[in-house]
Amino acid sequence: MKQILIGLLLAAGLSQAGQDTKKADTAPKKPQVQRLFILKYADPIQLMDLLRVFDAQVRQNAEMHALAIEASAEAMHAIEDAIQKLDVPAAMPKNIEMTIFLLVATDAAAPVGSAIPKELDDVATQLKNTFPFKNYGLLDVLTFRTRTGQSVSTTSSSGSFQFGSRQASVISSLRIASISVESDGSTVRIDKMNSNYKVPVPTGSGEGYTLQDLGIQTDLDIKAGQKVVVGRLGISHDQALFLVMMAKVL
CA 189 remoteness from chain centre: 7
- Domain shared by 71 and 144, yes or no: no
- Domain shared by 66 and 168, yes or no: no
What does 39-83 look like in DSSP terms, one character per residue?
A: -SSS-HHHHHHHGGGSSEEEEEETTTTEEEEEEEHHHHHHHHHHH
pLDDT at residue 89, rounded to an integer:
82
pTM of the full predicted structure?
A: 0.65
pLDDT at residue 233, rounded to an integer:
95
- Domain shared by 130 and 37, yes or no: no
> Cα dihedral sign for 223, 126, 123, 167?
negative
- Domain shared by 79 and 104, yes or no: no
Is the pLDDT higher at 239 or at 90? 239
- Domain shared by 51 and 147, yes or no: no
Of the three residues 41, 74, 90, the one that is the final residue of a domain is: 90
pLDDT at residue 7, rounded to an integer:
45
* Statement: residue 12 has pLDDT above 50: no
CATH code for position 37: 3.30.1370.120
pLDDT at residue 35, rounded to an integer:
93
Dist. CA 50–CA 32, nearest whole Å: 20
- The pLDDT of 40-63, averaged and rounded, is 90
Give the number of domains in the chain: 2
- Domain shared by 65 and 109, yes or no: no
- Domain shared by 34 and 53, yes or no: yes
pLDDT at residue 19, rounded to an integer:
52
Residue 9 located in a structural domain: no
- Given pLDDT bands bounded at 50, 70 and 90, which one contains residue 217? very high
- Domain shared by 60 and 143, yes or no: no
Given a contact cutoff of 8 angstroms between Cβ atoms, the answer to whether 247 and 209 are in contact is: no
Q: What is the mean pLDDT of the chain?
A: 86
* Statement: residue 39 has pLDDT above 80: yes
Q: Name the pairing type of β-strands 166-169 and 160-163.
A: antiparallel
- Given pLDDT bands bounded at 50, 70 and 90, which one contains residue 197? very high
pLDDT at residue 5, rounded to an integer:
37
DSSP letter at 119 equals: G
- Domain shared by 192 and 85, yes or no: no
Provide the domain limits for residue 48.
Answer: 30-90
Q: pLDDT tens digits, residue range 66-122?
A: 999 999 999 999 999 999 999 888 777 889 999 999 999 999 888 888 999 999 999
Residue 22 located in a structural domain: no
Residue 6 located in a structural domain: no
Residue 2 located in a structural domain: no
- Domain shared by 68 and 190, yes or no: no
Given a contact cutoff of 8 angstroms between Cβ atoms, the answer to whether 102 and 142 are in contact is: yes
- Domain shared by 159 and 175, yes or no: yes
